[in-house]
Structure 1
Amino acid sequence: MDFTPIINQIVGALWYLVPIAILAGILKSPWFKGVVGEFIVNFSARLLLDKGKYHLIKNVTLPTEDGSTQIDHIIVSEFGIFVVETKNMKGWIFGSPNQKTWTQKIYKYSNKFQNPLHQNYKHVKTLESLLDLDEQQVHSVIVFVGDSVFKTDMPENVTFGGGYARYIKSKKTQVLTESQVIGIARKIEQGRLTPSFKTNREHVRHVKTIVADKE
């Protein structure tokens, strides 16, 4: 018995499930979450921060002594350099500044992840060294996006969504001159590795090596 007509009917009836499955995979991928997080930060910066005072530089990979470090966003202003780390997560978030790891909880599922303040510390120190600045001039900012809720008190520089812009604007003491701001933005652009698939791939390989060494 020839089952070809039956198979063709089944395929014809279910063909639409293939693109749906592909789309679902894309929506759940780390790449798409990164795109969403970047869009929210970029949109909030353009909407809530004065372009004349705050200069946004996106997706910066800087060389370090042991490889490279990748910074989601850098915002340069007379009120300091703001180093922004984005976390696209859902569920309840538990953590404190001094804890090595924080906890993500979704119903009965719990997941430990690196304290993002510690993660961003290397970014901050790399910029301080590159730009010859002190810790009063460079600020760490953590932005959570996605369907997440803080279940413990967070420091003021750990924010949700567009709240990071309020934190940035709360810094009102001028620590850099206008000419310094222009020079710093130029130096970051000149010092960064060229944005490309190769740069990103090599950075990911470096991060995987660090993780493997720790394990």
Structure 2
Amino acid sequence: MLWELLKQIWWLIPLFLIISFLKSPTFKGWFGEKMVEKAANRKLPQDSYHDFQNVTLATDEGSTQIDHIYVSRFGIFVVETKNYKGWIYGKVKDAKWTQNIYGKKHLFQNPLRQNYKHIKTLESLLDLPNGVFHSVIVFTGECELKSNFPVNICRLGNFTDYILSFDQQKLSDIQVQQICQLLTKNRLDNTLKTRHQHIQNLKKQHHK
């Protein structure tokens, strides 16, 4: 009898696994990054803004992973993506920000701090001053930004406008080309092994 019942509902098992995966942080993060990538490809001139997606670089602590880098004559735009729902609260100097979903509060790392570390890694790798870099945070999910956030905290619909608002040249065409070559040369291969090792590095850092 049990076997007959299992034969009737076996199809629920893969359905359950698919639904669980779609709700996982891994999928939500990947989907948010893809939305940013698609929007940038549509709105940023590709001959002027050279894109690098999901860049993992070696660091003294192990590795760091950067969602998006856009290299242009107007600077290097380092983009951190957050695919969140609910209300988002936080201050620039807070270590953690708050996500409030139906009264349930969850803390997450301040993405400005996250991106600060990314930019420091790029400064060292590319041997460039901090003024060349622009930190951009993009929230892609159905969330409301409830705090008085700075202008570089963007939504999916306006982050490209923010990037395009910079019109002061900071890099020459030759520098842009050299930067792109260095990023291509130094980024780690985008493989499951690289992603697994990066996750292990993060766990080690959090347990220090």
1:110 maps to: 105
Q: 3-state SS of the aligned residue for 2:176?
A: helix
Q: Does residue 180 in structure 1 map to residue 175 in structure 2?
A: yes
Structure 1 unpaired stretches of 5+: 1-5
2:90 maps to: 95
- The alignment's TM-score, normalised by the length of structure 1, stands at 0.93
1:80 maps to: 75
Deviation of 1:205 (Å): 0.6
AA aligned opposite 2:133? V
Contact 2:132–2:170 under 8 Å retained in 1: yes
Deviation of 1:154 (Å): 1.3
1:160 maps to: 155
Q: Does residue 59 in structure 1 map to residue 54 in structure 2?
A: yes
Distance in 1 (CA, whole Å) between partners of 2:3 and 2:59 is 57
2:11 maps to: 16
- The alignment's TM-score, normalised by the length of structure 2, stands at 0.95
Higher Cα radius of gyration: 1
Q: 3-state SS of the aligned residue for 2:167?
A: coil
Q: 3-state SS of the aligned residue for 1:97?
A: coil
Q: Does residue 69 in structure 1 map to residue 64 in structure 2?
A: yes
Contact 1:41–1:162 under 8 Å retained in 2: no
2:130 maps to: 135
Deviation of 1:19 (Å): 2.1
AA aligned opposite 1:113? F
Distance in 2 (CA, whole Å) between partners of 1:150 and 1:11 is 46
Distance in 2 (CA, whole Å) between partners of 1:7 and 1:196 is 42
Deviation of 1:12 (Å): 3.4
Kindly tell me the number of residue pairs found equivalent between the two proteins.
208
Distance in 1 (CA, whole Å) between partners of 2:28 and 2:72 is 28
1:3 maps to: none
Distance in 2 (CA, whole Å) between partners of 1:188 and 1:162 is 27
CA RMSD of aligned residues (A): 1.2
Q: 3-state SS of the aligned residue for 2:130?
A: coil
Distance in 1 (CA, whole Å) between partners of 2:157 and 2:56 is 24
1:35 pairs with one of 30, 33, 41: 30
Distance in 2 (CA, whole Å) between partners of 1:23 and 1:199 is 24
Listed as ranges, the matches of 1:186-201 within 5 Å are 186-201=181-196
Distance in 1 (CA, whole Å) between partners of 2:30 and 2:110 is 21
